Each structure stands twice: as C-alpha cells, then as structure tokens.
C-alpha cells in the first residue's frame, strides 16, 4: 500500500482568516486532536506581525506547548524577523512563502518579487546552517487574484531558485482555488519531471469545488504529500476570493477509499472537526462530512 502524507494547515492557514481569534491554548488543543487522529504533519503557526495577522498572535506560546517529538510540526516565516522568532521557539521546520507574481508579494509581505526571492533564499540558507528543515511555498502558482494566469515556465524557474537555495521541499500552491484538473496535470507533470515528485507537495483551495479533483491529478502525477485543512477552513487575508482549503477529512477519505495509506483515522478526524466548529463559532466541514457522520452513526 502506497503512503501519502497529509500536512494539516488548519491551525495556521485555516485559522488565520477567521474573524474570531482562537487562543494559543485552544490552537494547541486542535493540533493535539489532529495528532490523536493520526495526522502525521501539522503546520502549527505563522511567525508574522500580529498587526498584519492578529489571529496568529502567540505563535511562540503554541510551539512551547507542543511535544515536538510527537509529530512533524512546521511554521510559516514571512521574513527574517519571523525566522529568528521561529528558531528561538524551538520549531524544527520552517516554510518561506514566495508568491509567483510581483503584486501578490507586495500585497502579502510588502516586497517585490526579486526582493522576496532574495529574502526567501537567504532564510533557507540560514535555516540549513542552523540545522532546521526549510521548505518553500510557491504561492498563487496556478492563478493570481491581481495578475491572473501564471506561466508554467515561471513556476519552474522559481522552483529552481528555491531548490538551489537549499529548500528540502517546494509546495506548489493554488492559493485562490483558481486551478482546474487539466491545468494541474500539466503543471505537475512538468514540475515532477524536472524536480522529482518526492521533492514536491501540493496545496489546493476549494473555491470552485475542484480541490479534490485537482489533488487527484497531482496524485496521478506522482505527488505523495498534500496540504489540507481540518473542516475545510482557510483563506488568505491578502488574496481576494480565496475560499477554504481542501478539507482534511475529504482528502483522507478519498485516499483511504483509493487504497493509499495515510495513517489517519477518519472517524477521529470528526472529533477535530467538532472541536473546530466550537472554536470558530460557525459550521465547518468538507464535502464528505454528512456521509462520514452517517457512517459513524451506522457503526
């Protein structure tokens, strides 16, 4: 049975766009619920300015409360200051974010494309020196809310820059859920051929109800690691129109039924979904949720 790794980004990407700020204590409870459900990797925090993203306040407190040997935990770092804070927290894996377009970088981290490439490269190189794993997101890789379609050769070029800097993994992100399966197949075939599927991960949003279909196409191209968010939470405060992420329960269900090994207990994921609902104060859940609840009741 082939293994696929699910990295749950709910505690970071999922909660960052919520109107309700979830306390560090409750974010830790969510992370622990995901680990209890067998989710092998979790993006736990973003070391970003609390003025820019107030919902991510207390990132160091979150990391300090975790058993760092209990899972593959990572954090997002938007700049060098964020990296220094992440390193001081004790987290062992960091991810930089390189948006594919000039405008998105300016909106997201107030730097142009060339400057962002330089800063991300420097952070990745420093992380290597410090003994931390460094990964790189290629954001809006399949469509930008400001500049529209992005050329495949440009994404490939950015991938080369991040791998050349020393990134262990590049995560190709459909940040606003603009992609379709044909587009995903084309880009991921290209990226997997050039870089090797084992060095890539995929990140999809479900704005147009295509996240699961897009994930399947990336899977067919050889990708075996995916971001997903518990309950389908998600969105980007700097990317208009970005709806929730691919729901962890949807991805895990599809993979389970298609014969892949994830280590995730889908029934236990429902407990995490229920926890999230209470934390954010509104209904959450992927497209499989009603069926999963019905299956659990029947059992």
Please pick, among 120, 144, 221, 236, the residue that the annotation labels catalytic.
236
Distance CA 299, CA 294 (A): 9
Instruction: Count the domains in the chain.
Output: 1
Helix (H) or strand (E) holding 42: strand 41-46
In which band, very low, low, confident or very high, does the pLDDT at 296 lie, cut at 50, 70 and 90?
confident
pLDDT at position 99? 98
pTM of the shown model: 0.96
Q: What's the domain range around 128?
A: 5-298
In which band, very low, low, confident or very high, does the pLDDT at 184 lie, cut at 50, 70 and 90?
very high
Query: CATH no. for residue 225?
Result: 3.20.20.70
- Residues 202, 195 contacting (CB under 8 angstroms): no
Among the listed ranges 47-56, 87-96, 116-125, which one has the minimum average pLDDT value?
A: 47-56
For residues 122-131, give the mean pLDDT: 98
- Residues 279, 22 contacting (CB under 8 angstroms): yes
Residues β-bridged to residue 46: 76
pLDDT(19) > 90? no
pLDDT in tens, 56-99: 999 999 999 999 998 899 999 999 999 999 999 999 999 999 99
In which band, very low, low, confident or very high, does the pLDDT at 106 lie, cut at 50, 70 and 90?
very high
Annotation says 192 is catalytic? no
């Amino acid at each position: 049975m082939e293994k696929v790794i699910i990295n749950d980004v709910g505690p970071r990407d999922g909660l960052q766009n919520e109107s309700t700020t979830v306390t560090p204590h409750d974010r830790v409870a969510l992370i622990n619920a995901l680990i209890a459900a067998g989710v092998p990797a979790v993006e736990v925090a973003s070391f970003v300015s609390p003025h820019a993203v107030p919902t991510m306040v207390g990132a160091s407190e979150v990391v300090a409360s975790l058993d760092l040997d209990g899972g593959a935990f990572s954090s997002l770092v938007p700049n060098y200051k964020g990296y220094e804070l992440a390193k001081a927290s004790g987290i062992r894996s960091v991810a930089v974010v390189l948006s594919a377009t000039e405008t998105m970088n300016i909106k997201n981290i107030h730097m142009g494309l060339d400057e962002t490439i330089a800063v991300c490269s420097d952070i990745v190189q420093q992380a290597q020196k410090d003994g931390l794993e460094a990964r790189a997101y290629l954001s809006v890789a399949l469509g930008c809310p400001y500049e529209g379609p992005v050329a495949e050769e440009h994404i490939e070029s950015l991938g080369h820059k991040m791998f050349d800097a020393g990134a262990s993994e590049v995560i190709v992100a459909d940040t606003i859920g603009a992609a379709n399966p044909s587009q995903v197949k084309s880009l991921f075939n290209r990226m997997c051929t050039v870089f090797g599927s084992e060095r890539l991960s995929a990140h999809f949003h479900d704005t147009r109800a295509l996240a699961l279909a897009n994930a399947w196409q990336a899977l067919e191209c050889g990708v075996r690691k995916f971001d997903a968010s518990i309950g389908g939470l998600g969105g980007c405060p700097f990317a208009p129109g970005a709806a929730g992420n691919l729901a962890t329960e949807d991805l895990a269900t599809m993979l389970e039924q298609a014969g892949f090994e994830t280590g995730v207990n889908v029934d236990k994921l429902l407990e995490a979904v229920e926890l999230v609902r209470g934390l954010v104060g509104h209904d959450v859940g992927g497209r499989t949720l009603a069926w999963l609840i019905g299956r659990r009741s029947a059992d």
